[in-house]
Structure 1
Amino acid sequence: MSAEDLQGAPVWRRAVLLLPRLRIQNANAVSSPMTWGWPAMTAFLGAMTAAERRLGRDAGIKFYGVGMVCHGFEPQVTRGGYTRSFHLTRNPVLPNGATAAIVEEGRAHLDLTLVFDVEVTEGQDGEAERQALAQRVAQLVQGMRIAGGSVMPALPGNRRPPRPLLELLPVGHADDERKQFRRLMRRCLPGFALVSRDDLLQARLEALRQADVDASPLDAWLDLSRLTSRAHKVSRQKADGTVEESAEWRYDSREGWIVPIPVGFAGLSGLHPAGSVAGARDAATPLRFVEGVYSIGQWISPHRLRGWSDLFWWAEHDEASRLYRCRNDYAPLPTTAEAAATES
């Protein structure tokens, strides 16, 4: 490469792109055969990739990760005591007049803020240029589908809808970056961010194996996914001096608001050449059969996060293990006992 080519190469700066208060209607609420609720992070990473491809290489922006803050979640269900049923649509009849089969689909209305980990070219240093690029991305997202749902315009009201924001990250100034992070996270309140808690899954597996050496990661995942109540013996002394014993049901303590989530896919077969599998959607892309990968997530208020690495999710591919999964670097603060053990 010549010196002229090096001089003409664009200089990229790390930045964050914030798209506040997106209203998504009829998003997919069934992201896997074993979970339902908030869409999987694979849906938001897929939307990020789709937006980058639509913008093109000449847009002056690259996407690396996405963070998400939930402000509202409204599942489209019919409530009847403890039982909930999804609202289903009636499909048109078949050409022969027979009734078409009903395929159960879960939908939900979402209110969320998306935060992207991006890089922009040096030409986007000006505030006007950055705001124009942020507005361009926001307008592009308005015409996309996110998690299978439609992005709706802001509701009319007295308050102006919040504008998208694109800010450069301070270079070499950890304190300035921390202040910027806290300032931008205040714009996302009230809400909850979804972070990864693989550590809870591993800790619960080790605890179960102390009682049963044959316990599997699935046992630990199911144990964390439910509310478990246990009977505790309670003794009360009456006024006449006698002791009355009874049972009191108590729920096991939980590490905050934790939920089971799908985090990617694991390959079941080798990589088949493009066009070799009949019925594939894309005949120009190699194909591999996969199954879902699950873990544990936690909803946490954005003001409790310490930095951008706690918020952002990114895609990781390990060809040796045929694993495609979403990663997040959130690590909880150590407890007093853990901190003392580490120091000693």
Structure 2
Amino acid sequence: MSEVKNLLVLPRLRVQNANAISSPMTWGFPAMSAFVGLMHALERKLAEASLPVSLGRVGVICHDFEAQATEGGYIRGFHLTRNPVDKTGGTAAIVEEGRIHLDITLIFSIDTGAAESEHEVIAHQISEIVSGMRIAGGSVIPNRAVPSHKQRPQWVMLDDDEERRQTQFARLKRRWLPGFALTLRDDYLTEHLQTLQQQHPDASLLDAWLDLSRLNHVCTLENEGEPNEKPVWQAQRPYRGWLVPIPVGYGAISDLFQPGEVANARDTKTPFRFVESLYSMGEWVSPHRMKQPEDLLWYVDNDEEAGLYRLNNDYHLRASAQ
């Protein structure tokens, strides 16, 4: 039984020049931490606007994307811009920045103490606020490729009855097509590590992550031992689905320092800790394969004692059980 009671849907947002460099080792679609950061920034703006709502989880469905990079060949490069001259009048250095244009739908789990009659008004107010915010560093612009009635924000109250809830969710999923939602597949990474260790006992999680991140080809002999014997290269995919390497948060590489203890820190009132990126595997899944809202929603799942500041998604729990 799903625990999500209310969903706020902001459909078919057009984001221009979002950050395409999601971590030191991955590029493409922005990291989910960017959208969770958007959710937290939005909550602060809602508090300033005195809107009695709270946001708990966020999901993203990508309908279209356009990476600002060269096409063709084995080597690809970002489209870069020349910055204005520096204060001395000299040519400023080019800072490599990856950009991508996105057509996305944002889904938030939302709670409020407001009356049901106010939900539609609040949804439109939130939509107006989001239209003036940055999403993964990109600007929200009018989406002229989609009719205006398909861009209206929706506040969906999910029914307590399971059958009616499934009908409501099915109706939403049809509206989200065509598109794909990014989900977490920690289970594939763990399972693939066990597979590698059967052949190479010293294999690490990094080996498993790199092996899943690439497309491997294996050479076999066709008609072996016969005059017409020839080598055949075949792609080897250990799992079905559209798998991608993704960053899922940060891991501590130092002790937790008290506020102001580290020089030149951005915030002198918050404890400070040095961290590095955490990686896992993600899978792009069509919304029609989702069974409940939790399948596409991401949430913060920190373990401060272990030094883990990461995001989680529950799709793999149901998918691995099947």
State the TM-score bracket (shorter-chain normalisation): over 0.9
Q: Which residue is 2:223 aligned to?
A: 235
Change (3 A) 1:332 1:316: closer
Please list the CA deviations of residues 125-177 of structure 1 after superposition, one character each: whole Å capped at 9, or x if unmatched. 22xx1110100000000000010000112317766442100011223x22222
Q: Which residue is 2:100 aligned to?
A: 108
What is the letter of the counterpart of residue 151 of structure 1?
V
- Tell me how far 1:243 sits from its aligned partner: 4.8
Identity %: 49
Looking at structure 1, the residues matched to 55 and 149 of structure 2 have their Cα atoms a distance apart, in angstroms, of: 28
1:152 is the counterpart of 2:118: no
1:166 is the counterpart of 2:158: no
Change (3 A) 1:61 1:189: same
- Tell me how far 1:334 sits from its aligned partner: 6.5
SS, match of residue 55 in structure 1: helix
1:135 is the counterpart of 2:118: no
Change (3 A) 1:161 1:179: closer
Q: Which residue is 1:303 aligned to?
A: 288
1:16 is the counterpart of 2:16: no
1:272 is the counterpart of 2:264: no
1:53 is the counterpart of 2:44: yes
- Cα pair 2:186 2:316 within 8 Å, conserved: no
1:189 is the counterpart of 2:177: yes
Out of 78, 88, 92, the residue aligned to residue 96 of structure 1 is 88
Change (3 A) 1:41 1:175: same
Choose 211-220 or 279-288, whichever is displaced more.
279-288
Looking at structure 1, the residues matched to 317 and 133 of structure 2 have their Cα atoms a distance apart, in angstroms, of: 34
What is the letter of the counterpart of residue 22 of structure 2?
S
Please list the CA deviations of residues 177-221 of structure 1 after superposition, one character each: whole Å capped at 9, or x if unmatched. 222111111111100000000111011100000001100000000
- Provide the alpha-carbon RMSD of the alignment: 2.0
Q: Which residue is 2:232 aligned to?
A: 248
SS, match of residue 85 in structure 1: coil
Looking at structure 1, the residues matched to 35 and 171 of structure 2 have their Cα atoms a distance apart, in angstroms, of: 24
Looking at structure 2, the residues matched to 247 and 235 of structure 1 have their Cα atoms a distance apart, in angstroms, of: 9
Greater Rg, structure 1 or structure 2?
1
Please list the CA deviations of residues 260-301 of structure 1 after superposition, one character each: whole Å capped at 9, or x if unmatched. 000000011122222222222222222211000000000010
- Cα pair 1:26 1:109 within 8 Å, conserved: yes
- Cα pair 1:154 1:161 within 8 Å, conserved: no
What is the letter of the counterpart of residue 286 of structure 1?
P
Looking at structure 1, the residues matched to 147 and 51 of structure 2 have their Cα atoms a distance apart, in angstroms, of: 34
Q: Which residue is 1:319 aligned to?
A: 304
Please list the CA deviations of residues 213-265 of structure 1 after superposition, one character each: whole Å capped at 9, or x if unmatched. 1000000000000000011111189xxxx652111100002421000000000
What is the letter of the counterpart of residue 95 of structure 1?
K
Please list the CA deviations of residues 100-133 of structure 1 after superposition, one character each: whole Å capped at 9, or x if unmatched. 2211110000000000011121x3322xx11101
Could you state the TM-score of these two structures normalised by the residue count of structure 1?
Answer: 0.87
Q: Within 5 Å, which residues of 2 pair with 1:19-34?
A: 19-34=10-25
Q: Which residue is 1:7 aligned to?
A: none
- Tell me how far 1:79 sits from its aligned partner: 2.2
Runs of 4+ in structure 1 off by over 6 angstroms are 332-335
Looking at structure 2, the residues matched to 303 and 167 of structure 1 have their Cα atoms a distance apart, in angstroms, of: 18
Number of residue pairs matched?
317
Looking at structure 1, the residues matched to 200 and 176 of structure 2 have their Cα atoms a distance apart, in angstroms, of: 43
